[in-house]
Structure 1
């Protein structure tokens, strides 16, 4: 029996790539977008869902279950980038980022758990970020929202084990997608004391995305995880040095690691 997969934020980038890869492997795939009418040429159905609006989450989840009778894999991929000096980032944008990157996935998980409990099976994959393992300069809010989702997954896994529902984190590094286009950027203010370091860091971040890995690497990793009987708690997918940076944080003294990051960002 083909597994039924629901992917949030699947109209472009990593989510779209995962969906297209999985249908080639005979999965039944549903994706979501806030504006599904823009993607009528998608290779798999795109349903309306805004992770900040719980009624749209429940409606879409129920639609998939009514059509297929089950829901085997949920991939919490929808997310939003945010950059800027924390001091100059509007509170409304900080809350908006957490609504998308943290509370949104929680509400998706809550919506699918009753069906997975009834099936006595299911897999939930939370797409986080390597940035969630460290507080990055001018990406502190993004690091915090993704790091919070990483920790949430650790707790959720233990709560769900008795129902045979599995959950894991997949933390990507930089991939060549259009994520930068949808990212909130705190404006570069001429009067800001952060003008030069923030501007330089912003350019460096965009360069990293432009030179990022092919998102097919993520799709292949997700496919392997789905076919793993007992997924790990955390997976890191990206260039060697991006993954190695997490190892360094674990073994180096805090101030030494901080100096390495500051040197990398030329701060």
Structure 2
């Protein structure tokens, strides 16, 4: 089997950590991007490369990463990034309390860097026979959700606009463009615990990371004759969607 090359953003913890650990095969090459260095990477693993990137500074981060990777073929670009308001998802949330700096930082990290990174690596993706771009979105980016978080929701709606337009730009190149709109994730449990245990401990209110990994594997497994545009994944008991 030919080795694949992954470009994965947000690898330091949570879902990004799970993707990096469990999606690529042993022979695959991984470029993992995060602001802080992951503590789980094996320094003797020559196929996994961590690159520091502060996505709140889109132009600088994009230029630095492009210089580091160069013209290397990229098979799968996975943008797993999503920061939110300091008071998000709580009873104390108030849009009025979010500063201009906080809002701009969210837009830069969640959407501006995403657009610039994809633009920078399109030529790398074209070198693959079956390239995929996978964005990790949120149910806060879906119509008629019940969340109040204005800036976070705006950036997640924007990601959906990106994938629909990219689909038209990359149709002739047979590059699949997908988004996973996820609900609340059981990130505190990781993939070391069984799905059954996670469901019991979270009262079935959180999505096991294993389920998200299965969705990513499905997208990657499809041929270049197929474009999986959107997958919506709220938790079964999620009343937000």
Give TM-score, length-normalised by structure 2. Answer: 0.77
Residue 75 of structure 1: how far off its partner (Å): 0.3
User: Using a 3 Å threshold, how does the CA distance of structure 1 residues 65 and 222 change in structure 2: closer, same or farther?
Assistant: farther
Q: Distance in 2 between matches of 1:89 and 1:107?
A: 25
The equivalent of 1:75 in structure 2 is 78
Aligned length: 215
The equivalent of 1:90 in structure 2 is 99
The equivalent of 1:199 in structure 2 is none
More deviation, 165-174/79-88? 79-88
Q: Distance in 2 between matches of 1:116 and 1:124?
A: 9
Q: Distance in 2 between matches of 1:91 and 1:135?
A: 24
Structure 1 runs not aligned, ≥5 long? 179-207, 247-267
Pick from 114, 118, 138 the counterpart of residue 109 of structure 1. 118
Q: Distance in 1 between matches of 2:70 and 2:22?
A: 22
Give TM-score, length-normalised by structure 1. Answer: 0.71
Residue 14 of structure 1: how far off its partner (Å): 0.3
Residue 169 of structure 1: how far off its partner (Å): 0.6
The equivalent of 1:236 in structure 2 is 232
Q: Distance in 1 between matches of 2:79 and 2:38?
A: 21
Structure 2 runs not aligned, ≥5 long? 189-201
The equivalent of 1:221 in structure 2 is 215
Pick from 49, 55, 66 the counterpart of residue 53 of structure 2. 49
Pick from 157, 161, 170 the counterpart of residue 160 of structure 1. 170
Which structure is larger by alpha-carbon Rg, 1 or 2? 1
Residue 106 of structure 1: how far off its partner (Å): 0.5
Going by fraction, where is helix more abundant, 1 or 2? 1
The equivalent of 2:193 in structure 1 is none
The correspondence of residues 250-265 of structure 1 with structure 2, limited to 5 A, is none
User: Using a 3 Å threshold, how does the CA distance of structure 1 residues 40 and 137 change in structure 2: closer, same or farther?
Assistant: closer
